[in-house]
């Protein structure tokens, strides 16, 4: 694994409106989350910054990740927009800076990644990562990037098992950060999860998260209220049996829930 050490679970913030976002991030940190995921496109970096600034926790204990908006992948915009992200987050540096989507109109592997590498040299970014990359796009990025690329953040839940990507990233010593790990709130509709949850007297959400962690990926569930935030964190205590894992592994339904036209790659 890369030098970067990530906790087994993180906290997602997409769709959290600024007011809720401040409260939810504060609660998440209180409960024990140490890795917070935001993005320029979520328009809540300032709320994440507000929440972190209210916490007394040592900065070094937190992993703060943000993502470059698709229209900010040209070198000048990479540099200027990251500086603005840092101002909104009230931080000297972010731990992880992602390419959010490899949008063909804006993403230029050599130039985009060179500008991101410059931010590492300037101490504004600790690690570079990508999101929504296919193996082919990863090959190309790894070949040109001066710095290590530590993770690929992709949609991953029992309806999108990402076997090929899991293997690719393991071979390249990179993290798989699992977004939409609760299938965007659809976990209750997956009968296999319901059955396992009943057996273990836990929630379907916990089963999904525990299965993702079992396979070595890092889920970043989003939740608004304390109940969900806590429920998800407690998935760390759930021990699934081998038969539970096999049952989820055998789910045939495959559904991609985040698939925006134009900017998505050829999956």
Ligand X SMILES: NC(=O)c1ccc[n+]([C@@H]2O[C@H](COP(=O)([O-])OP(=O)(O)OC[C@H]3O[C@@H](n4cnc5c(N)ncnc54)[C@H](OP(=O)(O)O)[C@@H]3O)[C@@H](O)[C@H]2O)c1
- In 3D, which of 207, 185, 211, 187 has the Cα closest to residue 196? 207
CA triplet 55, 219, 235: central angle to 5 degrees? Answer: 80
Phi and psi at 149, nearest 5°, equal: -105, 115
Binding window for ligand X (CB under 6 A); candidates: 7-15, 51-59, 81-89, 190-198: 7-15
Backbone angles phi, psi at 191, to 5 degrees: -55, -35
Contact of 220 with 142, CB cutoff 8 Å = no
Nearer to ligand X, 44 or 86 (CB): 44
Q: Which of 220, 238, 240, 247 binds ligand X (CB under 6 A)?
A: 220
DSSP state, 40? G
The residue among 91 and 183 lying less far from ligand X, judged by its C-beta, is 183
Q: Which stretch binds ligand X (CB under 6 A): 6-14, 54-62, 76-84, 114-122?
A: 6-14
Which tokens belong to 230?
A: 């806590």
> For tokens 């409260």, what's the residue?
23
**What tokens does 7 get?**
């906790």
Q: Is the dihedral of CA 214, 217, 218, 219 positive or negative?
A: negative
Compute CA 193 distance to the chain's CA centroid, rounded to the nearest angstrom. Answer: 22
Q: Is 42 a catalytic residue?
A: yes
User: Which range of residues in 74-82, 102-110, 219-227, 237-245 is near ligand X by CB under 6 A?
Assistant: 219-227
Closest alpha carbon to 262 in 45, 106, 79, 130: 106
Scanning 48-56, 72-80, 226-234, 246-254 for contacts with ligand X by CB under 6 A, the matching segment is 226-234
Query: Is 158 a binder of ligand X (CB under 6 A)?
Result: no
CB-based closest residue to ligand X: 12
CB of 153 to ligand X, least distance (A): 5
Q: CA nearest 158: which of 232, 256, 240?
A: 256
Q: Which residues in 74-113 contact ligand X (CB under 6 A)?
A: 100
Instruction: Using CB under 6 A, count the residues that bind ligand X.
Output: 28
Which of 59, 4, 52, 5 minimizes the C-alpha distance to 30?
52
| Rounded least distance, CB 222 to ligand X, Å | 3
Residue closer to ligand X, measured from CB, 121 or 259 = 259
Q: Which of 223, 240, 247, 248 binds ligand X (CB under 6 A)?
A: 223
User: What does the per-residue mask of binding to ligand X show for 161-200, with x meaning CB under 6 A?
Assistant: ------------------xxxxxxx---------------
Check: CB of residue 160 under 8 Å from CB of residue 122. no
Residue from 33, 42, 168, 179 carrying the catalytic annotation: 42
Q: Which is closer to ligand X, CB of 14 or CB of 93?
A: 14
Q: Which two tokens stand for residue 117?
A: 């590498």
Binding residues for ligand X, rule: CB under 6 A, are: 12-15, 37, 100, 131-132, 153, 179-185, 203, 205, 220-225, 228, 231-232, 258
Q: Which residues are catalytic?
A: 42
């Amino acid at each position: 694994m890369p030098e970067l050490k990530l906790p087994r679970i993180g906290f997602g913030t997409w769709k959290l409106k600024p007011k809720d976002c401040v409260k939810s991030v504060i609660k998440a940190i209180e409960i024990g989350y140490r890795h917070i995921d935001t993005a320029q496109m979520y328009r809540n970096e300032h709320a994440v910054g507000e929440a972190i600034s209210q916490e007394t926790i040592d900065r070094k204990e937190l992993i703060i990740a943000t993502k470059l908006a698709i229209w900010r992948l040209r070198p000048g915009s990479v540099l200027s927009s990251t500086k603005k992200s840092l101002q909104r987050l009230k931080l000297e540096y972010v731990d992880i800076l992602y390419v959010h989507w490899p949008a063909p109109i804006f993403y230029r592997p050599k130039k985009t990644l060179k500008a991101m590498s410059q931010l590492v040299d300037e101490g504004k970014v600790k690690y570079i990562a990508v999101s929504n990359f296919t193996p082919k796009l990863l090959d190309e990025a790894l070949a040109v990037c001066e710095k290590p690329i530590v993770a690929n953040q992709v949609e991953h839940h029992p309806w999108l098992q990402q076997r090929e990507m899991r293997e690719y990233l393991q071979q390249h010593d990179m993290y798989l950060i699992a977004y939409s790990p609760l299938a965007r709130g659809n976990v209750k509709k997956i009968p296999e999860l319901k059955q396992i949850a009943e057996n273990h007297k836990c929630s379907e959400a916990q089963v999904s998260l525990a299965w993702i962690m079992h396979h070595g990926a890092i889920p970043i569930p989003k939740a608004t209220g304390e109940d969900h935030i806590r429920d998800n964190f407690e998935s760390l205590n759930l021990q699934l049996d081998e038969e539970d894992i096999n049952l989820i592994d055998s789910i045939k339904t495959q559904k991609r829930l985040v698939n925006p036209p134009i900017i998505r790659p050829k999956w």
